[in-house]
Amino acid sequence: MSDILSLRNVTIRHRAGAHAPQAVSGADLRIANGEIFGLLGPSGCGKSTLLRVVAGLNRFWSGEMRLLSQPVKPGSPLRGVLRQQVQMVFQDPYASLHPRHTIGRALAEPLRRLGERHPVEQAAAALSRVGLLPALLERYPHQLSGGQRQRVAIARALLTQPKLLLLDEPTSALDKSVQAGILNVLSRLRAETGTTLLLVSHDADVIGHLCDRAAWMNEGRLGPALDRAAMVAALPHRHVAGMEPGEKT
Amino acid sequence: MNDSIETLAATAPRRADSSGGRRLPRSLLLGGGMAVLLLALALSAPWLAPYDPNLQQLGARLLPPSALYPFGTDGFGRDVFSRVLFGVRPTLLLVSIVVLLTMPFGLAVGIVAGMAGGWVETLLMRATDLVLALPKLVLALALVATLGPGGVKGALALALTAWPVYARQARAETRLLRNSDYLAAARMLDIRGLRLCFGHVLPMCLPTAVVRAALDLGGMILAIAGLGFLGLGVQPPTAEWGAMVADGSAVIFDQWWVAMAPGCAILLASLAFNLLGDGLRDWLDPRHE
Amino acid sequence: MNDFAPSENRLPPLLEVQHLSVSVARGAGWQPLVRDVGFRLDGGLSALVGESGSGKSMTARALLGLTSPGCRIDAATLSLRGQELRTASPAQWARLRGCHLGLVQQDPRYALNPVRSVSWQVEEGLRLHQRGLGRAERRERVAAILSAVGLDPVRRLLDAYPHELSGGMGQRVMLAASLICEPELLIADEPTSALDASLRDQILDLIARLAAERRMTVLVISHDLPLVARYCGQVLVMRNGELLETLPADRLAEATHPYTRMLWRCQPSAATYGQMLPVMDEGEWQ
């Protein structure tokens, strides 16, 4: 089975210009269909930036990228089928839902864009797939808890039935007990649909719990991908990197 | 149960005996009440006014306020009270035209500029800056001088110069929102272009624009009255406050009521909309306690 | 109630709380946020654990007299070294908060003043509560406390603004600011939640070390039970405004209350690969 995602020598900057500072340099990555892959690194290492490039949200990159066996050119937005096949769950559940739209609108609008005939019923079905009751369709995001919001965000990302789901620290803003529920949703998702997950986190425990393979990232450099055994051996007990730069001055 | 303890505590009212929900600020109630009163007066002027505002009674010119004529009569023997009442109509009408034209146009320019970025943003913002730099009343005068005087023409002329503030404000807000996750999430679901701008960005820019509009109404009333004072707004014999003040200024020392009555009306109407705008801003701003 | 820390002297316990309730005005009546909480702190580190909305932060604010004006606090006992706090005036509270009670909060991005330099903020406690000190001595103490929290007190750090600091550095600066007046009781409200997982142990380690060095009592508030259990002697578990149970940290693995067991075992790790994690009743999602 061919790779869902392959990156070769990808360099990402924060803005246009050949001399703009690099957020990620020379990244190589291959992710197989159906696996859960983890990107582990401290804040500011560039892992979220890399994820946003794969999502098509950042166009200041160079190198080669193939998504579902199709080449993607730097700077060109994802369109059509490719746009549907890659979706993302953002880190902050308080910021990823539009504050003035009901949950129903947040889910029904993309369904209508896809041409679905019964968007409201489908929205209710999407909610129940992540363990939420249809009554939430009429609520606004500020009336939901953090865990509920994140489940809605996952439900929304799954509306287009993507082959690749990107997750940017999906549980770091949530309580530990709420995090457990979300991780269960993701485990069930992979078991039932075989969706490929690319998960970014600073938490070694979350990576160790969910991922089949992982790679470390630090200061813009992506390390080699490790299989399960190597990953578990390398997962240091609760520490990822050493002191932060600046603390030893 | 969706009210978490933290949100309940965070919205705990200042006084222990208040009702639980967000209280309407006093300025909103007062300003809103006055605005509604103005509207009611405009609608019911034909029934409330004791005389026809254009009825000239040359034998009763420049009479002081009395039981017969509550605000006295002007130089043509017309009842000032009736003219003030009927004067609400052109004022409200023209002010509404200005705001209803400027707000949507300014919002559209600002949002498109903020979302597009690059040369589109630069072009639109420089055009906005250009219009902003033009003096409102002078431009209105120039336009009216070319097109000829008239209430609606004057209002249009003012509208032409009043939209830049909405554009600048909307663009500033849009730039802040541009990188938010919920817009990125919408883009990932192929919601883009105009649909993104007006379905997702506009609801976030609307509250401040509405507040600004309410505040602008106060200033617009003065501007319309100013045009009327210069004889370039509503044409005689139609009752309009600014023109009435102009008429009264000739006799202001002896027959002060001819200018005073419409002058007070301008003051009160302006105040009403300023209070309304203040109150709306206080009420809509979630950070205001 | 058991004493978990040995009393070394005959003084009353540092903090004694009995039947504490916090309510907020709602409509015509009062809605309880915290109900009938009681505990005793006297040395060492204690943890107050619960999910968002459990009332743990509200309890902490009640201990510091920092609840919003619309909230009402009722308690049978709320005393600091025998001094009754229920009847303290605002001036007395201000003195207590500066000199005897310290607070460290969650996120340096929001808890530090964005327009003041690091040295200004760390020094502020001294300026307000220890008036007799000269400028030179204040500067010395600032440098000393910054070293104590693991930061090198160079010019570049002293003049830096909060947005120029990394998460871990910001957290250490907040600690320095709250410790400079040498409080006897430090309340740390989710001190590690905004930090990367790798830094959490470092900060808690630092707090534990400082508590031992300064003979300071610490109350750590958190949603992460396994994390704080490694550093704290006693653990208090709260849910929906109620204190469910109080137990020593080394007995957590055998806790009997289902909620405590869930909090203890919901931790993911490489060992739980492929398994479902324990959660409270999933039917509560409404």
Model confidence pLDDT, tens digit, residues B182-193 = 999 999 999 988
Nearest-CB residue to B185 (from A56, A96, A144): A96
Q: Angle at which helices B181-188 and A47-55 pack, to 10 degrees?
A: 40
Whole-number percent of chain C with pLDDT over 90: 59
As a whole number of angstroms, the longest Cα–Cα distance in chain C is 62
Contact A42 C225 (CB under 8 A): no
> Residue C285 pLDDT more than 80?
no
Collect all residues of chain C within an 8 Å Cβ-Cβ radius of residue B10: 68
Q: What is the pLDDT of residue C236?
A: 95
* pLDDT band at C9; cut points 50, 70, 90: low
Contact B4 C70 (CB under 8 A): no
Q: What is the pLDDT of residue A244?
A: 35
Collect all residues of chain B within an 8 Å Cβ-Cβ radius of residue C32: none
- Quick: pLDDT tens for C35-76: 999 999 998 999 999 998 899 999 999 999 888 888 889 999
Q: What is the pLDDT of residue B60?
A: 86
Q: What is the pLDDT of residue B177?
A: 92
- The whole-angstrom separation of Cα B87 and Cα C173 is 64
User: Which residue, B196, A147, A91, A174, is CA-closest to A136?
Assistant: A147
Collect all residues of chain B within an 8 Å Cβ-Cβ radius of residue A52: 184
Transcribe C206-242 into DSSP letters: HHHHHHHHHT-EEEEEES-HHHHHTT-SEEEEEETTE
Q: Phi and psi dihedrals of A165, rounded to 5?
A: -115, 125
Q: Does B186 touch chain A (CB under 8 A)?
A: yes
Q: What is the pLDDT of residue B17?
A: 35
Burial C162-181 (b: 16+ CB within 10 A, else e): beebbbbbbbbbbbbbbbbb
- The whole-angstrom separation of Cα C108 and Cα C106 is 7
- The whole-angstrom separation of Cα A226 and Cα A78 is 29
Burial of residue A42 (CB within 10 Å: 0-12, 13-18, 19+) is buried
Q: What is the pLDDT of residue A236?
A: 67
Q: Which amino acid is at C103?
A: L
**Three-state DSSP state, C120:** helix
Burial of residue B133 (CB within 10 Å: 0-12, 13-18, 19+) is exposed
Q: What is the pLDDT of residue B12?
A: 43
Whole-number percent of chain B with pLDDT over 90: 34
Q: What is the pLDDT of residue B20?
A: 34
Q: Does C59 touch chain B (CB under 8 A)?
A: no
* pLDDT band at B285; cut points 50, 70, 90: low
Question: What are residue A199's DSSP bridge partners?
Answer: A38, A167
Residue B141: count of CB within 10 angstroms of its CB = 17
Collect all residues of chain C within an 8 Å Cβ-Cβ radius of residue A184: 276-277, 279
Burial of residue C18 (CB within 10 Å: 0-12, 13-18, 19+) is middle
Pairing of strands C71-74, C234-239: unpaired
This complex has an ipTM of 0.88
> Residue B172 pLDDT more than 90?
yes
- Quick: pLDDT tens for B98-115: 888 999 999 999 999 999
Rounded to a whole number of angstroms, the distance from the CA of C180 to the nearest CA of chain B is 29
Chain A interface, Cβ < 8 Å to B: 52, 55-57, 83-84, 86-88, 90-92, 95-101, 109-110, 113, 139, 143-145, 153, 156-157, 159-160
Question: Cβ neighbours of residue B253 under 8 Å, at least 6 residues apart?
Answer: none
Pairing of strands C101-104, C185-189: parallel
Sheet strands (E) in chain B: none
Q: Does B17 touch chain C (CB under 8 A)?
A: yes
Q: Angle at which helices B26-48 and B80-116 pack, to 10 degrees?
A: 130
Collect all residues of chain B within an 8 Å Cβ-Cβ radius of residue C54: 5
Q: What is the pLDDT of residue A245?
A: 33
Chains touching chain C, criterion 3+ CB pairs below 8 Å:
A, B
User: Do residues B52 and B82 lie in contact, with contact meaning Cβ atoms separated by under 8 Å?
Assistant: yes
Pairing of strands A61-67, A70-72: antiparallel
Q: Phi and psi dihedrals of A31, rounded to 5?
A: -125, 125
Pairing of strands C83-84, C77-80: antiparallel
Give the residue carrying structure tokens 């029904």. A108
User: Which residue, C32, C95, C25, is CA-closest to C59?
Assistant: C32
- The whole-angstrom separation of Cα A181 and Cα A143 is 19
Q: What is the pLDDT of residue B53?
A: 87
Q: What distance lies between CA B98 and its chain's CA centroid? A: 8
User: Do residues C253 and C64 lie in contact, with contact meaning Cβ atoms separated by under 8 Å?
Assistant: no
Burial of residue C215 (CB within 10 Å: 0-12, 13-18, 19+) is exposed
- Quick: pLDDT tens for A86-127: 999 999 988 999 998 999 999 999 999 989 999 999 999 999
Q: What is the pLDDT of residue A1?
A: 53
Nearest-CB residue to A95 (from B180, B191, B203): B180
Nearest-CB residue to C25 (from B4, B6, B18): B18
Q: Where are the alpha helices (DSSP H) in chain C?
A: 56-64, 90-99, 108-111, 118-129, 135-148, 155-158, 167-179, 197-214, 225-229, 258-265
Q: Angle at which helices A176-193 and A146-157 pack, to 10 degrees?
A: 20
Residue A215, sorted as left (phi over 0), alpha (psi -120 to 50) or beta, turns out to be beta
Collect all residues of chain C within an 8 Å Cβ-Cβ radius of residue B8: 24, 26, 31, 33
Q: Which amino acid is at B121?
A: E
Burial B11-21 (b: 16+ CB within 10 A, else e): bbbeeeeeebe
Contact B6 C24 (CB under 8 A): no
- The whole-angstrom separation of Cα B103 and Cα B207 is 12
Question: Cβ neighbours of residue B101 under 8 Å, at least 6 residues apart?
Answer: B156, B159, B163
Mean pLDDT taken over chain B: 84
User: Which residue, A212, B70, A178, is CA-closest to C51?
Assistant: A178
Q: Phi and psi dihedrals of A55, rounded to 5?
A: -75, -15
Mean pLDDT taken over chain C: 89
- The whole-angstrom separation of Cα B199 and Cα B208 is 17
* pLDDT band at B22; cut points 50, 70, 90: low
Collect all residues of chain B within an 8 Å Cβ-Cβ radius of residue A159: 189
Average pLDDT rounded to a whole number, residues C120-145: 91
User: Do residues A84 and A160 lie in contact, with contact meaning Cβ atoms separated by under 8 Å?
Assistant: yes
Question: Cβ neighbours of residue A112 under 8 Å, at least 6 residues apart?
Answer: A119
Contact A203 C197 (CB under 8 A): yes
Least trusted range by pLDDT, from A159-168, B233-242, B262-271: B233-242
Mean pLDDT taken over chain A: 89
Average pLDDT rounded to a whole number, residues B39-64: 89
Collect all residues of chain A within an 8 Å Cβ-Cβ radius of residue C197: 202-205, 238, 240
Transcribe B246-289 into DSSP letters: HHHHTTTTT-THHHHHHHHHHHHHHHHHHHHHHHHHHHH-TT--
User: Do residues C17 and C75 lie in contact, with contact meaning Cβ atoms separated by under 8 Å?
Assistant: yes
- Eight-state DSSP code of residue C19: E
Average pLDDT rounded to a whole number, residues A74-86: 88
- The whole-angstrom separation of Cα B131 and Cα C61 is 53
Chains touching chain B, criterion 3+ CB pairs below 8 Å:
A, C
Query: In the numeric block, which tokens belong to residue B32?
Result: 């809103």
- Quick: pLDDT tens for A6-64: 999 999 998 777 788 889 999 999 999 999 999 999 888 899 999 999 999 988 999 99
Report, in angstroms and rounded to the nearest whole number, the Rg of chain B calculated over CA atoms: 23
Rounded to a whole number of angstroms, the distance from the CA of B176 to the nearest CA of chain A is 13
Find, in chain A, the residue whose alpha carbon is nearest to that of B186.
A110
Q: How far is CA A156 from CA A108, A124, C196, in A?
A: 9, 11, 27
Q: Phi and psi dihedrals of C28, rounded to 5?
A: -90, -15
- Eight-state DSSP code of residue B213: H
User: Do residues C246 and C239 lie in contact, with contact meaning Cβ atoms separated by under 8 Å?
Assistant: no
Whole-number percent of chain C with pLDDT over 70: 94
> Residue C286 pLDDT more than 50?
no
Helix (H) or strand (E) holding B110: helix B80-116
Chain C interface, Cβ < 8 Å to A: 51-53, 150-152, 154, 156-157, 166-169, 196-201, 223-226, 262-263, 266-274, 276-280, 282, 285-286
3-state secondary structure chain A: CCEEEEEEEEEEECCCCCCCCEEEEEEEEEEECCCEEEEECCCCCCHHHHHHHHHCCCCCEEEEEEECCEEECCCCCCCHHHHHHEEEECCCCCCCCCCCCCHHHHHHHHHHHCCCCCHHHHHHHHHHHCCCCHHHHHCCHHHCCHHHHHHHHHHHHCCCCCCEEEEECCCCCCCHHHHHHHHHHHHHHHHHHCCEEEEEECCHHHHHHHCCEEEEEECCEECCCECHHHHHHHCCCCCCCCCCCCCCC
Q: Does B15 touch chain C (CB under 8 A)?
A: yes
Q: Does B200 touch chain A (CB under 8 A)?
A: yes
Q: How far is CA B184 from CA A45, A95, A235, in A?
A: 21, 10, 32
Residue C282: count of CB within 10 angstroms of its CB = 9
